[in-house]
């Protein structure tokens, strides 16, 4: 009886060692997209009234958890019985990401900005839906990459390691986003300190938040283009050969902009046809 118990412990230890090794590899492979995920979702979660920042962020976080609960079993099922569907799904997600990135760029063009009507307020529900949808697409990419890193492992190790990456993608990303959106509140607390050095740090945090938000917006838009371009680069036939002479960053940018421009043009054309 004791021998059987210790044998079970040995098996568990071996499995956890394999999980640690596979998770480390998967984490390195998905680190870039996790960074993009942070930039994109930080942009979605800022710009609200202080009293609404945490409720909106919590709503997006719950949507992200739900996304993972949907994607994880789907990814394992598809990889087992219909792995040929994975690449078309990734490409469709890339089309949406590139479209959203180009749409943001067009919206901020000087001519468009001059004629734009300033909205009276931010539509929370629309922003949350958009954030959860983008999170879903980025989560698909993260989980598929993590799963491909664990392809040679047993199904138990795959399930545990990919689930850990998925959990970190939500807890880590939205935890950092929460720190960003409350940076000004932390700065106000520091400004009440008796130490002048800490007061200056607090003032810097309060003054720096609007700048940080603008930077996050620009990085988030670039991330949408680059992630989409990377998907097209690696998952569309023959595309890799067309852009092979170019550096990877340049190739991904061009592919993302091209895909987004085509998607934006199609949306405009359909919109005009519907109006007509």
Contacts of 239 (CB under 8 A, 6+ apart): 232, 233, 255
Contacts of 233 (CB under 8 A, 6+ apart): 239, 240, 243, 248, 251, 252, 255
CA distance 120 to 237: 45
DSSP label of 193: S
Q: Provide the pLDDT for residue 117.
A: 43
Q: Provide the pLDDT for residue 121.
A: 55
Contacts of 37 (CB under 8 A, 6+ apart): 135, 138, 139, 142, 169, 173, 223
**Residue of 163, 159, 137 whose CA lies nearest to 33:** 137
Q: What is the pLDDT of residues 227-246, one digit of tens each?
A: 888 888 888 878 877 887 88
CA distance 138 to 25: 19
With beta carbons less than 8 A apart as the criterion, state whether 180 and 216 touch. yes
Q: Which parts of the chain register pLDDT below 70?
A: 1-15, 17-18, 22, 25-36, 40-41, 43-48, 50, 110-122, 151, 276
For 207, phi then psi, to 5°, come to -70, -30
Q: How many CA atoms lie within 13 A of 154 on its CB side?
A: 9
Q: Provide the pLDDT for residue 78.
A: 83
**Residue of 238, 246, 239, 235 whose CA lies nearest to 94:** 235
Q: Using alpha carbons only, how large is the chain's radius of gyration in Å?
A: 22
CA distance 232 to 246: 14
CA distance 2 to 128: 53
- Give the pTM: 0.70
Q: Give the tokens for residue 47.
A: 């710009």
Q: Provide the pLDDT for residue 267.
A: 86
Q: How many CA atoms lie within 13 A of 67 on its CB side?
A: 24
Evaluated on CA atoms 171, 129, 136, 269, the torsion sign reads negative
Evaluated on CA atoms 153, 158, 160, 164, the torsion sign reads positive
Ranges of each domain in the chain: 2-275
End-to-end Cα spacing for the chain: 79
Contacts of 11 (CB under 8 A, 6+ apart): none
């Amino acid at each position: 009886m004791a021998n059987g118990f210790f044998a079970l412990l040995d098996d568990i230890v071996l499995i956890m060692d394999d999980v640690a090794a596979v998770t480390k590899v998967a984490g390195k492979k998905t680190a870039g997209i996790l960074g993009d995920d942070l930039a994109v979702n930080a942009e979605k979660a800022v710009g609200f009234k202080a009293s609404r920042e945490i409720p909106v962020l919590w709503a997006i976080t719950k949507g992200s958890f739900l996304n993972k609960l949907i994607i994880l079993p789907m990814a394992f099922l598809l990889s087992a019985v219909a792995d040929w569907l994975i690449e078309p799904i990734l490409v469709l997600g890339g089309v949406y990401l590139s479209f959203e990135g180009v749409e943001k760029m067009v919206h901020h063009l000087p001519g468009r900005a001059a004629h734009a009507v300033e909205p009276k307020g931010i539509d929370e529900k629309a922003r949350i839906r958009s954030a959860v949808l983008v999170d879903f697409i980025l989560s698909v990419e993260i989980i598929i990459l993590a799963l491909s890193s664990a392809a040679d492992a047993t199904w138990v190790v795959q399930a545990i390691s990919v689930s850990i990456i998925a959990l970190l993608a939500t807890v880590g990303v939205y935890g950092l986003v929460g720190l960003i959106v409350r940076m000004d509140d932390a700065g106000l607390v520091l400004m009440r300190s008796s130490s002048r050095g800490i007061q200056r740090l607090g003032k810097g945090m309060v003054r720096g938040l609007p700048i940080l938000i603008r930077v996050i917006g620009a990085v988030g838009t670039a991330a949408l283009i680059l992630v989409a371009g990377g998907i097209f680069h690696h998952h569309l036939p023959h595309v890799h050969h067309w852009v092979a002479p170019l550096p990877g960053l340049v190739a991904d940018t061009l592919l993302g902009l091209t895909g987004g421009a085509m998607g934006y043009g199609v949306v405009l054309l359909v919109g005009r046809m519907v109006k007509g």
